[in-house]
Amino acid sequence: MVAVLGVSGLYHDAAAALVVDGRIVAAVQEERLSRIKHDASLPWRAMKACLAEGAIAARDLDEVIFYEQPFVKLERILITTLRRFPRSFGGYLQGLKSQLRDKLWVLDRLADGLEISRGRIRSIDHHESHAASAFYASPFRDAAVLTVDGVGEWDTTVLWRGRGETLTRLEGLRFPHSLGLFYAAITAYLGFEVLGGEYKVMGLAAYGRANRVDALSQALRLNRDGTFELAPHFFDASGTSELGFTPALEGLLGPRRPPGRPWDLTDETDLAYADVAASAQQLLEEAMGAAARWALERAECDHLCLAGGVALNAVANARIAREVGADRVFVQPAAGDAGGALGAAIVGALQRGAARPPPMTTAALGPHVDSTGLAALADALGLSVGPCPDDATLAVQLLEGRVFGWMKGRMEFGPRALGHRSLLASPFDRGLREKVNRLVKKREPFRPLAPSVLRDATAPWFEEAPPFLTPFMTTVVPATAAARQALPAVVHHDGTARLQTVSDGPFAGLLEAVGHIGPAPVLLNTSLNGAGEPIVATATDAAAFVLAHPVDGVIVGDLLLSRRRVRRGCT
């Protein structure tokens, strides 16, 4: 047996992943278990959950691999801040303290915490972890691989060639020239939280006009060869500012938007900020498209794999799939740092002679739903538990306007709820989009909600469904005229939808039942969590969600948890 545990952490989105004999056994994000959004700590809970899923003990592991190289990262932090000394002295001390306290000795901490020898713990390159998570999980034997994020050790963008069981680095761009840092700075400028609010910029962009591209091109210059450069005086790459940008960016674009102020897209001031989002999004798409072409040409491949935090930009992925000339595109569904744990585990397993894993066809790699003790918990909290309605009954209730949480099977890995830890509603009622966004999720009104549809029933409603992207919601697709009229709750302002196609499992059964009763086998699907919370992981989390949010219940395995008494299996 070859068993390798991959670990990411100490920056954001900590996670663990277990690969045994060439099979991805489990992958879990720490935030789901700690209940701390984007938890950056060492993922002890996630490691324990992975080992439990594989029914092995830490002593049975051949290796534990950390997803980046701490000493090389320390080198970058020290060199970068010292170049700007003495202005960067505060950032120098902060970076040094963080690295020495938490990160530099991470391999020793893993050995101590898992109670295994230090010789079985090692680290690999950050972007190699990203590349492995995408290529080895893809269905391709040969592919160009592009990894794009804020920064790893020194790299921000790397091109790879994947062939069989090997990844070869071809070229890379180094810090501070980074699309991730560019988009993070715009995220902060618009008043959103960095490393968590970037997807809000993507959603807001649909409401704006890309009329600030010329101005932003002074900050991000795109070169003809597919590379790009950040103009350093617009960005704070030293870590001395939480914003990531300098006053020069406000001189270019105007004052930043105050964080926390409610959005009103009928207001000219907020529409001007939407224009900045649209312009930044367009520049990002152009940069990513050029980099993807560069990767395909340099690797001399027809298929493309993407990973790194920037690859979570579903709108940019859609343009890449549509325009760069790749036969097929695969994006690792946990493209950010969480996915680095999976890539690290696969690299370690391959290097020990294990087979390459089968293609990743599901992101359901976390713990199973466990409803043991739910009845007693519900009774103590004044909630009701009863048998889950059958698919036909639940479909009727959803189409009548009810909103249900849906917890079935194993928890998803990555930021998207894909029918295992989802919040479901009818897509046919425009008012439900406002209800879910404003009353349940308590989030900005411009945020889109996604449709889930049976894979074989997409054609009347959506114009294209890339086969390796839509199962994981890693792209957007144009909605047809019929969908814009019939599915108003799940079609975004720009006429697109972040589509999930579903082919099997309990969720497919529910969609089929909806299709028998309603106009289409489609449901509104968003993540089962409240504002600022991680996606619900356990039955206890489900109970807390029901208590705190105006939903009609949460289905937990074969049970229905609700505030009201359950009669004849229904609410």
Q: Does the structure show a pLDDT above 70 at 277?
A: yes
Average pLDDT, the chain: 93
Instruction: For residues 443 and 459, give the distance between their C-alpha atoms in angstroms, rounded to a whole number.
Output: 31
Instruction: For residues 456 and 561, give the distance between their C-alpha atoms in angstroms, rounded to a whole number.
Output: 32
**What is the predicted pLDDT for the residue at 74?**
78
**What is the predicted pLDDT for the residue at 570?**
43
pLDDT mean over 131-154: 97
Query: In this structure, is residue 156 part of a structural domain?
Result: no
Bridge partners (DSSP) of residue 412 are: 364
Shared domain for 100 and 220, answered yes or no, is no
pLDDT over 90 percentage in the chain: 89
**SS3 state of residue 314:** helix
Reported as a pLDDT band with limits 50, 70 and 90, residue 242 is low
Shared domain for 282 and 404, answered yes or no, is no
- Domain of residue 80 covers 3-137+334-360
Question: Is residue 12 annotated as part of the catalytic site, yes or no?
Answer: yes
pLDDT mean over 302-308: 98
Shared domain for 478 and 553, answered yes or no, is yes
Query: In this structure, is residue 144 part of a structural domain?
Result: no
pLDDT mean over 518-539: 97
Instruction: For residues 347 and 165, give the distance between their C-alpha atoms in angstroms, rounded to a whole number.
Output: 9
Helix extents (H) in 192-313: 198-205, 213-216, 247-253, 268-299
Shared domain for 252 and 310, answered yes or no, is yes
Instruction: For residues 145 and 292, give the distance between their C-alpha atoms in angstroms, rounded to a whole number.
Output: 9
Does 247 sit behind a cis peptide bond, omega within 30 degrees of 0 on the bond before it? no
Shared domain for 281 and 347, answered yes or no, is no
CATH of the domain at 213: 3.30.420.40
Query: In this structure, is residue 155 part of a structural domain?
Result: no
What is the tens place of the pLDDT at every residue in 37-52?
999 999 999 999 999 9
Q: Residues with Cβ < 8 Å from 166, sequence gap 6 or more?
A: none
Whether 18 and 40 have beta carbons less than 8 Å apart is answered as no
Shared domain for 7 and 88, answered yes or no, is yes
CA dihedral 209, 213, 215, 219 (to 10 degrees): 130
pLDDT mean over 116-142: 98
Shared domain for 346 and 395, answered yes or no, is no
Whether 222 and 286 have beta carbons less than 8 Å apart is answered as yes
Whether 526 and 346 have beta carbons less than 8 Å apart is answered as no
Shared domain for 185 and 296, answered yes or no, is yes
- Residue 253 corresponds to which tokens in the numbers above? 């674009």
Whether 285 and 321 have beta carbons less than 8 Å apart is answered as no
Q: Does the structure show a pLDDT above 70 at 375?
A: yes
Query: In this structure, is residue 145 part of a structural domain?
Result: no
**What is the predicted pLDDT for the residue at 568?**
46
**What is the predicted pLDDT for the residue at 79?**
73
**What is the predicted pLDDT for the residue at 89?**
45
pLDDT mean over 400-410: 97
pLDDT mean over 231-248: 80
Query: In this structure, is residue 172 part of a structural domain?
Result: no
Shared domain for 400 and 298, answered yes or no, is no
Query: In this structure, is residue 500 part of a structural domain?
Result: yes
Q: Does the structure show a pLDDT above 60 at 167?
A: yes
Shared domain for 434 and 476, answered yes or no, is yes
Shared domain for 431 and 492, answered yes or no, is yes
The Cα diameter of the chain in Å comes to 72
Shared domain for 278 and 298, answered yes or no, is yes
Query: In this structure, is residue 567 part of a structural domain?
Result: no
**What is the predicted pLDDT for the residue at 569?**
47
**What is the predicted pLDDT for the residue at 385?**
96
What is the tens place of the pLDDT at every residue in 420-439?
999 999 999 999 999 999 99
Q: Does the structure show a pLDDT above 50 at 248?
A: yes
Number of domains forming the structure of the chain: 3
Which of 12, 130, 492, 549 is labelled catalytic?
A: 12
Reported as a pLDDT band with limits 50, 70 and 90, residue 366 is very high
**What is the predicted pLDDT for the residue at 232?**
92
Residues shown for the chain: 571
CA dihedral 29, 352, 109, 37 (to 10 degrees): -10
Query: Which region among 99-108, 360-369, 378-387, 482-491 has the lowest average model confidence (pLDDT)?
Result: 99-108
Within 10 Å of residue 558's Cβ, how many Cβ atoms?
10
Query: In this structure, is residue 235 part of a structural domain?
Result: yes
Within 10 Å of residue 262's Cβ, how many Cβ atoms?
7
pTM: 0.94
CATH of the domain at 541: 3.90.870.20
Whether 293 and 433 have beta carbons less than 8 Å apart is answered as no
Reported as a pLDDT band with limits 50, 70 and 90, residue 195 is confident
Reported as a pLDDT band with limits 50, 70 and 90, residue 88 is very low
